[in-house]
Structure 1
Amino acid sequence: MSWAVEEWKEGLSTRALQKIQELESQLDKLKKERQQRQFQLESLEAALQKQKQKVI
């Protein structure tokens, strides 16, 4: 079914395809960065909860 995902790109110019590839690459990079930041946020929240328990 992956061919259907790419079907919309058929007939586009080389320049358009290159731009799409750049944007998809940038999207992947941003997704990974978001995932890392989410993990960092969750870790910090867990550490904060741990510190709160110590205070109580």
Structure 2
Amino acid sequence: MSARHASGQFLRAAHVELGDTAIRDILSLGQEAEVITPESLRQRVIAEIQKIGEAYAA
């Protein structure tokens, strides 16, 4: 399901396996993507982003 938000952004619902492939796919979209639910996937994506930030900050 996809829908356009009043702000012009798209909201897209997708059924995905909650594994490393899903995280890589989400991260490949860069700042264009935001995981809203499930919270467990959102937290895994946040953790990966933090690791990337730490790697580049060093």
TM-score (norm 1): 0.41
Judging by fraction of residues, say which structure has more strand. 2
Q: Bigger relative contact order, structure 1 or 2, given CA contacts below 8 A and separation 6+?
A: 2
Judging by fraction of residues, say which structure has more helix. 1
Greater Rg by CA: 1
